[in-house]
Structure 1
Amino acid sequence: MKRLTVIAIIALLFSAAGLAGKDKRKRSGLTPYKIPLPEFVGDYFDKMPVDEENPLTEEGIALGRRLFYDKRLSADNTLSCGSCHQQRFAFADNRAFSLGVHDSLGIINTMPLFNLGWGRAFFWDGRAASLREQVTEPLINQREMAGTWADVLDKLQQDKDYPLLFKKVFGSEKINSTMVSKALTQFELTLVSFGTRFDRYYFDGQADALTKQEERGLDIFFGFGNCNHCHSDVLLTDNYFRNNGLDLDPQPGLYNTTGKAADRGRMKVPSLRNIALTAPYMHDGRFSTLEEVLTFYSSGIHQKSPNVDEHIVPLGKGLFLTPEQKADLVAFLNTLTDSSFIRNPAFSDPNPPR
């Protein structure tokens, strides 16, 4: 009986703490925000993890969006996060390597930004353990925005609006790097993309959402093509790191982060959502078209690449797709484009140039 009483008291304390947190946000004038997700995401996949230290609010998201498109976050005030992560390209860009400050050339392809709340580690080599780490690394990367925290924070502090906006969201006019990373994270978490014809067909049961050719491509994708072993579940990525046999002597990839020989050549598996928008492809942007990608998987896999993935090995020397099968598979991949995502005004620059 005593044990039940203690459990009840603990439950009440946790409940009170939760209510206190909600009351605090309410008293501060912040508006809690819940990301709108279609029902099938919850039906077929895990809920998006919640960061209790950085709860989503409309005000925090608006601040993060403003920062995302602010070029003053770069050393020479010429680049923003949105310069390399462009909405029309599903928040990637259309270059093999992005241009940084003073036209410095990047060394790896820019990954798109969407459905980030389910990510386990970020960047091709997994060097960022959390989204909060990922969002701010480009600010101080010398090949990208090339700034320093001291300079970035000084510019934000001198702005006529930012100190009050940060105080509203985080309770202090004295801006620090943690506040910046939290605000950017809040905005990027809202970049969710689940509005494709594939979703309507596969999850919502809309039988006429795909053409016969696209259905044939879907059958290859989930059938002998084995594409869904890595590009799986609702996200169309398993968020793991794999060597797909691209090179006999691959770039280090995850090895640069872990130092483990077994991780050499492993790169993060990208989502295939919006894949038609995110060319060029692979970590080095070597393929310009989806047709080139399929030619590689059809007949170009290097089976003796170190740590080649177990799902690649069963393919033998390749898929040897016929021209018709390639066309069918490309047609299916095009159904993964979310037009509403790339046109959503909530994700666009709040202060576009005139």
Structure 2
Amino acid sequence: MRRPASCEALLVLLFCLVCSAAADGQLAPVPYPAENPPTEEKRVLGKILFWDEQLSSDDTVACGTCHQAGVGGSDPRLGTHPGPDGLFGTSDDIIGSPGIARADLDGIPLLDPLFGFEVQVTNRSSQPVIGSQWAPEMFWDGRASSTFIDPQTGLVSIASGGALESQAVAPLLSDVEMAFEGRTWADLVTKMETVAPLALGTDLPADVAAILVGGTDYPELFAAAFGSPGITAERIAFAIATYERTLVPDQTPFDLGTLTPQQQTGFNILTNNTVCFNCHIPPLFSDNEFYNIGLRPSADDLGRFNVTGDIEHRGSFKTPTLRNVGLRPAQMHVGWVTDVQDAIDFYNAPAWPSVDPVTGHTQFTAEQSPIPAPGAPPGTAPSYNDIFMPTQFHPAVIAFLANGLTDPRVANETFPFDRPTLQSELPNPVQFVRGDCNTDGANNIADAVTVLNVLFPAPTPPTMGCEDACDGNDDGAIDIADAIAVLSSLFGFPAIPLPAPTSCGPDPTTAETLECSIYPNCP
């Protein structure tokens, strides 16, 4: 017997709701700019570069340090930036990424007005690089544009579609993220020509280990990828961007059509009962546009306005993808939104000056962007009040966002999201002061005497608790040149400063065999 038309329509509707996630889940093919076609050699080189801490001035930060797959392509290390008021512990603080301690080009520490001699922290959270292949601009404010300008020549390298390349070069010379002040591309290239690729990394991924097994150096890797051994900013950017374009998180339950009933319900709620997908458009779950959602007053951080000068962009930031959002410990550009529930709580918060007494959230509505509503008649576009989500919807929505959009390869850091173990992830090494061979906490003539006693014992050499401290010139060996280095730093005309660390710190040079088992005058 033929079913009533209304029943057939209902069955079709239910079927469509169940299948809609899978249908919407087909990510578009990854676009590659014509100027930077993919090759396997370029991909592997990019992976090595992305994870090599030696690309930073002090060997402590790689690109991947702040963009780890296990936390959704963001940073597991949560540092605090004091925000525009310069005071820690106030409402405008930002949860950002720790970078490097401020230092001049020779590595001599410089006093920073915010962080002193400690590691600096970025003033925005780390934005996930996974899923960024389709973005026409990169960074929260979109300052890394589609047109990639070679930073060494000033010429256009990629006319369009080069946002990843534009982004890749920025941290390498940033004196907050990876570089000593005044660092140039020539400085970085000179270093890369002499270091062993990923010398500081352990547990290398199979594809990387296979390339480096014979002691391949960077000039050889660049020759394999580009046809000649020259290392340039453009080639570094091309290789890193090629690697990043392979990080496609397309094996989530949403993509594979394996959502649980609860996750499917969450997707249906977001589709039919909220305006969340007006900006977080499936299947990428981002529209890559810029909005002021009222996290903080616009004056705290002008965001996109600093790039475009458009008054309507004050306080606007790029819509992040919701793929793998459940893995990320710091949400949105401020970083202090902790998880999906906390994000929902923000959107449910009242307008300033009212504050939710339970969550502590408020919305600064003075310059909030309108929510996009294509085709809506003038004056009928949804407002942020329409985002309010009843409590009974939360469990299903969280199940979808936090789990239904998680690619297990990302969560488990398996290929292509695998990576080496970074030196910075290992237990902290002993800190010491360079040249302080007698470990009394200061550089003085007694240190030079101690070096000489080590070399010419009478009758027995003194015990060295920290060989690295005795290595005054940081050449990886203890010899008479170390005594000369200490004396030159004390009595030279002009005085020749010793290599880092000149105050308590770990050894920045790890490609040597000297040890530092104990140094009593540092924390």
Say yes or no: does 1:70 pair with 2:52: yes
CA contact (8 A) 2:275 2:382 kept: no
Residue number in structure 2 paired with 1:192: 248
Q: Deviations over 1:224-271 (max 9, x none)?
A: 211111111321111111122323445211001111111112100000
Alignment of 1:1-354 (within 5 A): 44=26, 46-94=28-76, 95=78, 96-102=95-101, 103-129=119-145, 130-147=163-180, 148=183, 149-159=185-195, 161-201=217-257, 209-249=258-298, 251-300=301-350, 302=363, 304-311=365-372, 314-315=382-383, 317-334=385-402, 335-342=404-411, 343-350=413-420
- Tell me, in whole angstroms, the C-alpha distance in 1 between the residues paired with 2:178 and 2:236: 15
Q: TM-score, normalised by structure 1?
A: 0.80
**Structure whose CA Rg is larger:** 2
5+ unaligned residues in a row in structure 2: which ranges? Answer: 1-21, 79-94, 102-118, 146-162, 197-216, 352-362, 374-380, 427-523
- Tell me, in whole angstroms, the C-alpha distance in 2 between the residues paired with 1:292 and 1:352: 30
- Tell me, in whole angstroms, the C-alpha distance in 1 between the residues paired with 2:99 and 2:223: 31
Secondary structure of 1:55 counterpart: coil
Matching residue's letter, 2:347: Y
- Tell me, in whole angstroms, the C-alpha distance in 2 between the residues paired with 1:197 and 1:255: 37
- Tell me, in whole angstroms, the C-alpha distance in 1 between the residues paired with 2:330 and 2:263: 22
- Tell me, in whole angstroms, the C-alpha distance in 1 between the residues paired with 2:224 and 2:56: 24
Instruction: Pick closer, same or farther for the CA change 1:249–1:113 going to 2, 3 Å.
Output: closer
- Tell me, in whole angstroms, the C-alpha distance in 2 between the residues paired with 1:158 and 1:121: 34
- Tell me, in whole angstroms, the C-alpha distance in 2 between the residues paired with 1:215 and 1:86: 28
CA contact (8 A) 1:108 1:284 kept: yes
CA contact (8 A) 1:157 1:174 kept: no
Aligned length: 308
CA contact (8 A) 1:91 1:113 kept: yes
Secondary structure of 1:190 counterpart: coil
- Tell me, in whole angstroms, the C-alpha distance in 1 between the residues paired with 2:23 and 2:65: 30
Instruction: Pick closer, same or farther for the CA change 1:212–1:112 going to 2, 3 Å.
Output: same
Deviation larger for 330-339 or 304-313: 304-313
- Tell me, in whole angstroms, the C-alpha distance in 2 between the residues paired with 1:326 and 1:170: 51
Instruction: Pick closer, same or farther for the CA change 1:248–1:98 going to 2, 3 Å.
Output: closer
- Tell me, in whole angstroms, the C-alpha distance in 2 between the residues paired with 1:316 and 1:258: 24
Q: CA deviation at 1:90?
A: 2.1
**Higher RCO, 1 vs 2 (CA within 8 Å, ≥6 residues apart):** 1
Secondary structure of 1:101 counterpart: strand
- Tell me, in whole angstroms, the C-alpha distance in 1 between the residues paired with 2:324 and 2:422: 24
Secondary structure of 2:367 counterpart: coil
CA contact (8 A) 1:298 1:318 kept: no
- Tell me, in whole angstroms, the C-alpha distance in 2 between the residues paired with 1:123 and 1:318: 28
Q: TM-score, normalised by structure 2?
A: 0.55
**4+ aligned runs moved over 6 Å, structure 1:** 40-43
CA contact (8 A) 2:371 2:384 kept: no
- Tell me, in whole angstroms, the C-alpha distance in 1 between the residues paired with 2:386 and 2:25: 34
CA contact (8 A) 1:300 1:318 kept: no
Which has the larger helix fraction? 1
Q: CA deviation at 1:179?
A: 1.0
- Tell me, in whole angstroms, the C-alpha distance in 2 between the residues paired with 1:192 and 1:230: 20
Matching residue's letter, 2:365: K
Residue number in structure 1 paired with 2:148: none
Matching residue's letter, 2:406: T
Deviation larger for 292-301 or 263-272: 292-301
Deviation larger for 317-326 or 216-225: 317-326
Matching residue's letter, 2:309: G
Matching residue's letter, 2:336: R
CA contact (8 A) 2:27 2:250 kept: no
Q: CA deviation at 1:200?
A: 2.1
CA contact (8 A) 1:97 1:284 kept: yes
Secondary structure of 2:121 counterpart: coil
Matching residue's letter, 1:240: E
- Tell me, in whole angstroms, the C-alpha distance in 1 between the residues paired with 2:290 and 2:281: 13
Secondary structure of 1:100 counterpart: strand
Instruction: Pick closer, same or farther for the CA change 1:60–1:108 going to 2, 3 Å.
Output: same
* Coordinate RMSD, CA, aligned: 2.4
- Tell me, in whole angstroms, the C-alpha distance in 2 between the residues paired with 1:88 and 1:310: 32
Q: CA deviation at 1:307?
A: 4.8
- Tell me, in whole angstroms, the C-alpha distance in 1 between the residues paired with 2:59 and 2:65: 12
